[in-house]
Amino acid sequence: MQEFKETISFIQNYYNTKEFIPLHEPRFHGNEKKYVMDAVESTFVSSVGAYVDKFEEMMEVISRTNKAIAVVNGTSGLQVALRLAGVSAGDEVITQALTFVATANAIAYNNAQPVFLDVDLDTMGLSPVAVENFLEEYGEIRGEACYNKKTNKKIAACLPMHTFGFPVKIEELLKICKKWKIPFVEDAAESLGSYYKDKPTGSFGELGVFSFNGNKIVTSGGGGAIVTNNLELGKKAKYLTTTAKKPHSYEYVHDELGYNYRMPNLNAALACAQLENLDIFLSKKRKLAENYAKFFENTNIKFKKEVPCTKANYWLMAVELENMEQRDLFLKTTNEAKVMTRPIWQLMYKLPMYRNCFKDEQKNAEFLEDRIVNISSSVPLK
């Protein structure tokens, strides 16, 4: 209990307040008001406007990809990315159960079924060993695709999620997916600014998807981005997210099922201003992570740190408690002191809509579910 009180004191001193400290609040220190008012005055406040174009250009530079497409949120981006990767009704998609529900929902929105495999303890993301073991037991190459020989369903994609901004073991997963002819799509919703071997997350797969929700490092209020190095896929992504409308100056012709998923210019204006400060935000968050790591060094609370060959954005700082009892006590003590903390997500296969999905042993995921807590992670004001 004393360590918990010392943690509360450390956080209060770092943020210089004894008032309520949220988990992750946005910072608006730049051109946000200026750009939003400019968008209002332009009258282009919906899905067409200069800031949408500017946002997409900025994201192409940041993600080092050839094409970025602005969308209304990360979930819609994942849904479209999976469709573009070839996921169809009845297919299976390999992913992790230790994730935010949007990862699994995006699969279900394509009428496909998640296959929940275990995570690694260090990255908290999809384990290459778990994927390899699953495919060795159930996988079968038929022509140019991989099938589950037990269910006879196509394994249409692999969708890892970079948990809290910590990159998964991308090269190992890519090697396995290439061997088994499975498209690789990155759920990079939480990892804007994270790197694996000096290359941005989101740029490794056929497509990557980012989120700009209100609690992310960079926010557009609500928004997302699909990124890809495949210009044809990028073109198709923009087409599908704009209701599959054929270009014409005044006629409305839609030749396939599309989505009204475009990010409004108002949101893009906010995002552009936020992206201008991304490097500053990342630097301050890494400094916060360094201070947390030093503080927790001689305690029984383990601070989760980036693994070798990666550079994490430390979107949400995470600590590992000794057991579930200690986790629950930590959560109660901190929240009662107005320092917001929260447990990691409930595993997806425990939710009613995913209870019948395949899962492996989930030894690591269940270990982490019982112990991981997110702590105050807002960009410090100082």
Q: What percent of the chain has pLDDT over 70?
A: 100
Residues 211, 71: Cα–Cα separation, whole Å: 9
pLDDT at res. 183: 98
Evaluate whether the domain defined by 32-275 bears CATH number 3.10.560.10: no
Residues 102, 250: Cα–Cα separation, whole Å: 36
**Would the pLDDT of 249 be above 90?**
no
Instruction: Tell me the three-class secondary structure of 51-115, residue by residue.
Output: HHHHHHHHHHHHHCCCEEEEECCHHHHHHHHHHHHCCCCCCEEEEECCCCHHHHHHHHHCCCEEE
Tell me how far CA of residue 33 lies from CA of 42, 70, 145, 267, 277, in angstroms. Answer: 14, 20, 49, 11, 14
Q: Are 108 and 114 in contact (CB under 8 A)?
A: yes
Residues 171, 26: Cα–Cα separation, whole Å: 32
Looking at residues 246-262, what average pLDDT do you find? Answer: 90
pLDDT at res. 48: 86
Q: Global pTM?
A: 0.96
Q: Are 114 and 348 in contact (CB under 8 A)?
A: yes
Residue 175: pLDDT band (50, 70, 90) is very high
Residues 367, 167: Cα–Cα separation, whole Å: 19
Q: Which of 134, 159, 168 has the alpha carbon at shortest distance from 149? A: 134
Q: Could you read off the pLDDT of 41-57 as tens digits, one per residue? A: 999 888 888 999 999 99
Residues 153, 264: Cα–Cα separation, whole Å: 38
Question: Within the chain, which residue ranges are assigned CATH 3.90.1150.10?
Answer: 2-27+278-375
Q: What percent of the chain has pLDDT over 90?
A: 94
pLDDT at res. 381: 83
Domain spanning 2-27+278-375, CATH architecture? Alpha-Beta Complex (3.90)
Question: Within the chain, which residue ranges are assigned CATH 3.40.640.10?
Answer: 32-275
**Would the pLDDT of 303 be above 90?**
yes
